[in-house]
Amino acid sequence: MNFSKWFFRILIFGEVILLLAVLWFLYGQRQFDSLFGGNQADSPGESIVERIINQPKHGELVSASNPEYFDLANTKAQIAQTRQTIEPVYQVSKQEIVFSSLGKSDREIELNARVYFPDNIEVAKKLPVVVFASGTTGISDICANSLEQPNLEPTAVNNWGNYQSHMIGYASQGYIMVIPDYEGMRDAEDIHHYMVGELEGRVMLDALKASWEMTSIKPNVDQDMIFMAGYSQGGQAVYWADKISQDYASLEVDGVIGFGPVSSVTDTILDIAKNANINWFTPFVLYSYRDYYKQSFDIERILLPNYIASLDQDIESTCISSALGKWPWNGGYYNQTVENNRSQLYTTEFLDAITSGNLSGYEELFAKTDANQVGKDKTNSYKLINQGEQDNVILPSQSDKFFERLCDAGNNVTYDKYPTTHYGIMATSFADTIAWMQKVSKGTVTSQCR
């Protein structure tokens, strides 16, 4: 048992109870209710206790499917799909769950997640839980990672990262893996608010808590060994989860792992001018932020008219697998030059701004992208950045700056680079990531910060 975690939880609970008692004594029930924003017109006669009870639920398990079993041969075959050369220690089972979370304006929502776990584990054995945040799959409901068809056959569709192969790989080594959809996915009432860090982080923490209630794994869950891991967009999600874990979920994360992580939405946009192969990123951000922040961001000064006219339709019908065919990309699409590709999507004014770094006139947009940056806070978790040196999507320079921010804030950080691309970083760093998590479990990680 992690004494410090339980001490922290007890201390917080005690402080809350003491504060409520003092306020009741000083103000009485009527003033007490008023102090907490009670609105008699909205909920006549509702007391503070009733309002607490009626708060939107999150982190609760709503339902779980029957398990799907992968025998040892199938476990090995699934792992091999992403070219991971490891021998499974355990065969693996999978369940799909529905859990509650809080979306925009604290609206109670339900989301889907896939859970992979070692099969036939002895009852007394405690296993770490890793909540994994996927890379960008898209914003539309049809792009939810839970709808991924996990195989690499030539006819496969919706295979955005073959996350099942990666999840089974870790589960076969003794980890419980939880991979949730993002807020807004498969939600008829709202969109996925892409690159809004707090909403992403909430989902990770709620998926974690919900998974603890699964009868199939509950006896084996080690609630004192929690990891968050994310690829690309998922890097932002898990570092945000770590940032808000105490305030939102009253728990501490032990280790956070980013694979080619987006740590700065601002840098990701600016790196388009440095040949980052991510032209589609800004349209995704504009579509999301326009809805979430209720601002226009002078979109006509960023995108060319034909892409503005079709933005909603393009976003709502396009997943990441077809994004390169929808927006010009920086990899020589249709044999055009890098510069011509950018200039076919963005205005000259915007390209000049991100090239020079003089963002005057675009403060409205970049104030919001800066607000979703991670790395400036110190938390108690160990942190690992895995970065491909040949990554032309999330450039190594972004992770370099992320490492420095984390170190400057006083965090314990490991930063490993590999001779691979954005798309190869998860498989390439697999064995080292397992070794690092084992060190975290033993408390033997040495920070690389100066």
Q: C-alpha angle with apex 73: 71 to 75, nearest 5 degrees?
A: 65
State residue 381's pLDDT score.
98
pLDDT band at 35, cuts 50/70/90?
very low
- Residue 218 burial (C-beta neighbours within 10 Å; 0-12, 13-18, 19+): exposed
Pairing relationship of beta strands 176-180 and 108-118 according to DSSP bridges:
antiparallel
Asked whether the beta carbons of 137 and 143 are under 8 A apart, the reply is yes
Strand-pair partners of 187: none
The C-alpha atoms of residue 17 and residue 49 are separated, in whole angstroms, by 12
Record the tokens describing residue 241, joined without a space: 């989860």
State residue 351's pLDDT score.
96
Q: Which tops the pLDDT comparison, 305 or 31?
A: 305
Q: Tell me how long the chain is.
A: 450
State residue 36's pLDDT score.
41
The C-alpha atoms of residue 266 and residue 412 are separated, in whole angstroms, by 24
Residue 229, domain CATH: 3.40.50.1820
pLDDT band at 2, cuts 50/70/90?
low
pLDDT band at 158, cuts 50/70/90?
low
Q: Long-range pairs for 299-307 at CB < 8 Å and ≥24 separation?
A: 301/347, 301/349, 301/350, 301/361, 301/362, 302/346, 302/347, 302/350, 302/362, 302/365, 303/345, 303/346, 303/347, 303/350, 304/344, 304/345, 304/346, 304/347, 307/283, 307/345
Whether residues 100 and 212 share a domain: the answer is yes
Q: Is residue 409 situated within a structural domain? A: yes
Q: What is the pLDDT of residues 275-325, one digit of tens each?
A: 899 999 999 999 999 999 999 999 999 999 999 999 999 999 999 888 877
- Residues near 3 by Cβ (< 8 Å), separated by ≥ 6? none
pLDDT above 60 for 218: yes
pLDDT band at 17, cuts 50/70/90?
low
Q: How far is CA 132 from the centre of its chain?
A: 7
Strand-pair partners of 227: 130, 255
Whether residues 260 and 199 share a domain: the answer is yes
State residue 84's pLDDT score.
74
State residue 14's pLDDT score.
57
> Which of 371, 404, 430 marks a domain boundary?
371
Q: What is the pLDDT of residues 78-118, one digit of tens each?
A: 998 887 778 999 999 999 999 999 999 999 999 999 999 99
Q: Which tops the pLDDT comparison, 160 or 144?
A: 144
> Which of 37, 53, 69 marks a domain boundary?
53
Amino acid, res. 168 = I
Whether residues 182 and 89 share a domain: the answer is yes
Helical (H) or strand (E) element with 306: helix 305-309
Our count of domains for the chain comes to: 3
Asked whether the beta carbons of 310 and 283 are under 8 A apart, the reply is no
Reported pTM? 0.87
DSSP secondary structure letters along 328-388: --TTTGGG--HHHHHHTTB-HHHHHHHHHT--TT-HHHHHHHHHT--SSS--SSEEEEEEE
Whether residues 219 and 304 share a domain: the answer is no
- Mean pLDDT over each residue of the chain, to the nearest integer: 87
Q: Is residue 8 situated within a structural domain? A: yes
Whether residues 221 and 322 share a domain: the answer is no
Q: Is residue 450 situated within a structural domain? A: no
Amino acid, res. 134 = S
Q: Both ends of the chain: CA-CA distance in Å?
A: 31
Q: Is residue 419 situated within a structural domain? A: yes
**CA neighbours within 13 Å on the CB side: how many for 195?**
32
Q: Which tops the pLDDT comparison, 55 or 223?
A: 223
State residue 151's pLDDT score.
61
Q: Output the CA torsion 328→333→339→341 (10° steps).
A: -20
DSSP SS3 for 418: strand
Whether residues 163 and 84 share a domain: the answer is yes
The C-alpha atoms of residue 249 and residue 379 are separated, in whole angstroms, by 14
Q: Is residue 396 situated within a structural domain? A: yes
pLDDT above 60 for 38: no
Whether residues 158 and 244 share a domain: the answer is yes
State residue 18's pLDDT score.
56
Whether residues 239 and 270 share a domain: the answer is no
The C-alpha atoms of residue 330 and residue 392 are separated, in whole angstroms, by 9
Average pLDDT over residues 27-37: 41
Asked whether the beta carbons of 61 and 101 are under 8 A apart, the reply is no
The C-alpha atoms of residue 134 and residue 124 are separated, in whole angstroms, by 31
Q: Is residue 66 situated within a structural domain? A: yes
Whether residues 158 and 249 share a domain: the answer is yes
State residue 439's pLDDT score.
97
State residue 51's pLDDT score.
54
User: Scanning the structure block, which residue is given the tokens 């800066």?
Assistant: 370
Helical (H) or strand (E) element with 7: helix 3-35
E strand spans, 24-123? 61-64, 68-70, 92-102, 108-118
Q: What is the pLDDT of residues 134-149, one digit of tens each?
A: 999 999 999 999 998 7
Q: Which tops the pLDDT comparison, 110 or 30?
A: 110
Whether residues 247 and 274 share a domain: the answer is no
Average pLDDT over residues 171-198: 96
Spatial CA neighbour of 235 closest among 135, 368, 370, 115: 135
The C-alpha atoms of residue 190 and residue 108 are separated, in whole angstroms, by 12
Q: Is residue 447 situated within a structural domain? A: no
Q: Which of 50-59, 99-108, 184-193, 356-365 has the lowest mean pLDDT?
A: 50-59
State residue 39's pLDDT score.
41
pLDDT above 60 for 156: no
pLDDT band at 56, cuts 50/70/90?
confident
Q: Which domain holds residue 191?
A: 61-264+373-442
Q: What is the pLDDT of residues 369-427, one digit of tens each?
A: 999 999 999 999 999 999 999 999 999 999 999 999 999 999 999 999 999 999 999 99
Q: Is residue 448 situated within a structural domain? A: no
Whether residues 361 and 325 share a domain: the answer is yes
Pairing relationship of beta strands 221-231 and 108-118 according to DSSP bridges:
unpaired
Whether residues 79 and 182 share a domain: the answer is yes
Q: What is the pLDDT of residues 332-375, one digit of tens each?
A: 443 455 666 889 999 999 999 999 999 999 999 999 999 999 99
Going 284 to 285 to 286 to 291, the CA torsion angle's sign is: positive
Pairing relationship of beta strands 127-133 and 108-118 according to DSSP bridges:
unpaired
Q: What is the DSSP letter of 141?
A: G
Q: What is the pLDDT of residues 226-279, one digit of tens each?
A: 999 999 999 999 999 999 999 999 999 999 999 999 999 999 999 999 989 999
Q: C-alpha angle with apex 125: 258 to 168, nearest 5 degrees?
A: 40
State residue 427's pLDDT score.
94
- Residues near 379 by Cβ (< 8 Å), separated by ≥ 6? 242, 243, 245, 252, 253, 411
pLDDT band at 212, cuts 50/70/90?
very high
